[in-house]
Copies of this chain bind each other. A is one copy, B any other.
Amino acid sequence: MSKPIDFYFDFSSPYGYFASTCLEELAAKYGRTVKWHPVLLGAIFKMTGAAPLSAVPLKGEYSLRDFERTARFYGIHYRKPSEFPLSTQAAARAMLWIRQHGGEEKAVAFCKAVYHAYFVDDLRIDRAEVLAQLAFDLDMDAARMIEGSNDPALKEQFKQDVDAAMKRGVFGSPFIIVDDEPFWGFDRFAQLEAFLKNGKI
Q: A residues touching B (Cβ–Cβ < 8 Å)?
A: 47-51, 56-59, 61-62, 65-66, 69-70, 72-73, 166, 169-172, 182, 184-185, 187-188, 190-191, 194, 201
Contact = CB atoms under 8 A, between A and B. Distances in A.
Nearest to A48: B57
B191 A188 contact: no
**Main secondary structure on chain A at its contact with chain B?**
helix
Contact of A49 (B57, B61, B190): B57
A57 B187 contact: no
B166 A70 contact: no
B191 A73 contact: yes
Contacts of A70: 191
A106 B188 CA distance: 35
A138 B105 CA distance: 63
B51 A59 contact: no
A60 B66 CA distance: 23
